[in-house]
Structure 1
């Protein structure tokens, strides 16, 4: 099973995943490119494992 990144539900966005492509979250002093992660996941959806799609969907991933 995939372990979700700790920054996937950012407090700075109110806990949702609809963020601009350039959105970056700072977690424990490290910058995490959340916007890029979401954009890449959307564009690679057809190649993602069904389990990962289900997990991201459960977190509220905006696929469109």
Structure 2
């Protein structure tokens, strides 16, 4: 008996949704392959795509690693250890931050805030997945594994 139990009613509704989705015609913008951002700029007056120099900066994992490593080195030079509390945030001067600081928010003093405590906790937890080079750079600082 179709539709008698709670599960079968849910299944019928789900199948109906699938059928309706399959029968739906693609919109003109979907058919033309236009992205949502471009659709907004076409349909909303006053919205234009951002110029190339104002678009978000893509940071690679390597840039992020170098930023956090620079913050760890600064902390180690100041404190003499890497026993960093999980909630610690390190202020790193822009000149030490390197290319990963491009496009990041800075403090009025011209520093970049790095969530160093969380990063070191995550690095310790994922130590087995680190490359030999990255592990060696942290060993130089006396990382407690």
Superposition TM-score tier, normalisation by shorter sequence:
0.7 to 0.9
Query: Normalising by structure 1, what TM-score?
Result: 0.77
- Is 1:45 the equivalent of 2:110? no
Query: Normalising by structure 2, what TM-score?
Result: 0.38
- Is 1:26 the equivalent of 2:91? yes
Alignment correspondent of 2:81: 16
- More helix per residue: 1 or 2? 2
| Runs (5+) with no aligned partner, structure 1 | none
Using CA pairs below 8 Å that are at least 6 residues apart, which structure has the higher relative contact order? 1
Instruction: Name the CA distance, whole Å, in 2 between partners of 1:30 and 1:3.
Output: 13
| Runs (5+) with no aligned partner, structure 2 | 1-64, 94-110
Pick the structure with greater CA Rg: 2
Count of residue pairs the alignment pairs up: 60
